[in-house]
Structure 1
Amino acid sequence: MDTNKKGLIGRIRSLGWGFAAMLFIAGVLFWGGFNTAMEWTNREEFCISCHEMKDNVYQEYRNTIHASNRSGVRATCPDCHVPKEWGPKMIRKIQASNEVLHKVLGTIDTPEKFNAKRLELAKHEWDRMKKTDSRECRNCHNFGSFDYAEQGRRSSKMHQTGLNEGKTCIDCHKGIAHSLPEVEQAIGSPKEGATPEEFHPETPKPEAPKADKG
């Protein structure tokens, strides 16, 4: 055996349990610091610490039932926009580094810039929620726990129809906590923005069976 290698192994062995304990403590401290940092960035106060969020979407959110209601149970920014599961949460945090870049670049640092990008930002979030089956909505709302008898007639009908058609929350519930982008108007000159169909897409109707030509 190489004498240098033998000497290294010997030194490690001589450290024994003390070295192992030091590694364990270092690991605990690292994980504790990492987890603390993750949770610190997962608070409403952190989300609105930049004026882009505080002056725009947060002001809209404050007037919604998610922010203030008779029971006092609130859904804050991370409840709706950050996954609770560890793996998806880490992926979302990594993706957020792109948002930090745009903060530095000043991409939406004025109300005018923000409104110009509102539709693009909204579509991005709608797409994300669609792909995850409205995962964050389902942290609080669950089709299987609905008491349809306690819902209004229209709500009960729409929820049961959505369930039967395999729809997810975001298919219908856009603009719940934030203002919707401007949509094209049926009368007068169209405004720039999304069409109503983008907010509530139609469900494709099944094709009628073709008649036999025999």
Structure 2
Amino acid sequence: MSKHAASSAKRFSLLALGLMFVGGIVFVWAVDFGIKTTNTLEFCTSCHTMQTNFEEYKESLHYKNTSGVQATCADCHVPKELGPKLVTKIVAAKDVYHEVMGTIDTPEKFEARRWYLANLVWKRLEASDSRECRSCHDYADMDLSEQSRSARSRHSAAQDKGQTCIECHKGVAHHEPTEPDDAS
């Protein structure tokens, strides 16, 4: 191979590497932008079928409380770690699909599937030991002496039994759906 051909091949290789590097940066930025955008309260409540959930959420302590700390949709529904977060985002795309396809595009259709949808979330939380809850709440950080006697007793027993948050706290930020007669 001539010097000129070798030099051209080297330049091409460097150019290709440079383009791949820039492409990688753009890809990572795009994924990060997409995740951040879809984690916003505005995005989560942009589908009109989510307005019912949003109104329920606004009645909860996760929305308005004495400390002024607000847990938004992503805090409870999206893991913090990248791997589980990406899996959750991919799985959540089905909600957008069902909204667009008309499966849950009205409050009535959403309510008809609400028990099923809630159970998917509850099962995911149980399987992860309520990972999203525990990003804010942790037995080790609870001052049980500051809780009501009932809460203190229940939290202490739950910790002893190895229970996870969602086992007792279904319907915290949203109304707990009624189990349909044919849900078994």
TM-score by structure 1 length? 0.77
1:166-205 paired onto structure 2 within 5 Å: 166-182=162-178, 192=181
CA distance in 2 between partners of 1:12 and 1:145 (Å)? 60
Q: Could you report, residue by residue, the CA deviation over 1:114-136 in whole angstroms, capped at 9, with x for unpaired residues?
A: 22111111111111100000000
Residue ranges of structure 2 left out of the alignment (5+ in a row): none
Matched, 1:147 2:169: no
Structure holding more helix per residue: 2
Q: Which has the larger radius of gyration?
A: 1
Q: Could you report, residue by residue, the CA deviation over 1:13-40 in whole angstroms, capped at 9, with x for unpaired residues?
A: 1346555444323322221122112211
Q: Given the superposition, is the C-alpha separation of residues 23 and 177 from structure 1 closer, same or farther in structure 2, using an over 3 Å criterion?
A: same
CA distance in 2 between partners of 1:193 and 1:57 (Å)? 23
Q: Alignment length, in residue pairs?
A: 181
Query: Is contact 1:130-1:170 (8 Å) kept?
Result: yes
Give the aligned partner of residue 108 of structure 2.
112
Give the aligned partner of residue 24 of structure 1.
21
Matched, 1:47 2:78: no
Identity %: 43
Q: Given the superposition, is the C-alpha separation of residues 63 and 194 from structure 1 closer, same or farther in structure 2, using an over 3 Å criterion?
A: farther
Matched, 1:127 2:107: no
CA distance in 1 between partners of 2:27 and 2:107 (Å)? 40
Q: CA RMSD in A?
A: 2.2
Give the aligned partner of residue 208 of structure 1.
none
Instruction: Please state whether the residue corresponding to 2:79 is helix, strand or coil.
Output: coil
TM-score by structure 2 length? 0.89
Q: Given the superposition, is the C-alpha separation of residues 14 and 93 from structure 1 closer, same or farther in structure 2, using an over 3 Å criterion?
A: same
Give the aligned partner of residue 156 of structure 1.
152
Query: Is contact 2:60-2:172 (8 Å) kept?
Result: yes
CA distance in 1 between partners of 2:142 and 2:55 (Å)? 30
